[in-house]
Amino acid sequence: MHLRAEAIILSVRAHGEHGAIVRAFTENDGVQPGYVRGGHGRTLRPVLQPANLVHGEWRSRTEDALPGLTVELLHSRAAMFSEALPAAAFQWATALSAFALPEGLPYPRLYSALDGVLAAIEAAPAARGWAVALVRYELLLLAELGFGLDLEHCAATGRNDDLAYVSPKSGIAVSRLGAEGYENRLLRLPRFLVEGGEAGWGYILDGLKLTGHFLERDVLIGKGAELLAARARLVDRLKRAVA
In a domain, 14, yes or no: yes
Domain with 50 in it: 1-76
Domain tally, the chain:
2
In a domain, 10, yes or no: yes
In a domain, 64, yes or no: yes
**pLDDT class of 63 with cuts at 50, 70, 90:** confident
In a domain, 63, yes or no: yes
Residues 9 and 60 in one domain: yes
pLDDT of residue 36: 95
Residues whose CB is less than 8 angstroms from the CB of residue 99 and which lie 6 or more positions away in sequence, other chains included = 220, 223, 224, 227
In a domain, 13, yes or no: yes
How far is it, in rounded angstroms, from Cα 144 to Cα 128? Answer: 25
In a domain, 16, yes or no: yes
How far is it, in rounded angstroms, from Cα 238 to Cα 218? Answer: 24
The domain that holds 203 is classified in CATH as: 1.20.1440
Residues whose CB is less than 8 angstroms from the CB of residue 220 and which lie 6 or more positions away in sequence, other chains included = 99, 100, 227, 228
Residues 142 and 24 in one domain: no
Tens digit of each residue's pLDDT (9 = 90 or more) over 166-216: 999 999 999 999 999 999 999 999 999 998 888 999 999 999 999 999 999
In a domain, 98, yes or no: yes
pLDDT of residue 126: 87
Look over the chain and give the mean of its residue pLDDT values, rounded to a whole number.
94
pLDDT, mean of residues 129-151: 96
**CB distance 102 to 32 below 8 Å:** no
Residues 87 and 2 in one domain: no
In a domain, 72, yes or no: yes
Residues 89 and 197 in one domain: yes
Residues 120 and 209 in one domain: yes
What share of the chain in percent tops pLDDT 90? 83
Residue at a domain's end among 54, 76, 98: 76
Residue at a domain's end among 18, 47, 76: 76
Residue at a domain's end among 56, 76, 96: 76
The domain that holds 55 is classified in CATH as: 2.40.50.140
**CB distance 165 to 184 below 8 Å:** no
Does the structure show a pLDDT above 90 at 125? no
Q: What is the pTM of this model?
A: 0.94
How far is it, in rounded angstroms, from Cα 210 to Cα 229? Answer: 16
Residues 114 and 147 in one domain: yes
Residues 11 and 65 in one domain: yes
Residues 17 and 71 in one domain: yes
Residues 101 and 216 in one domain: yes
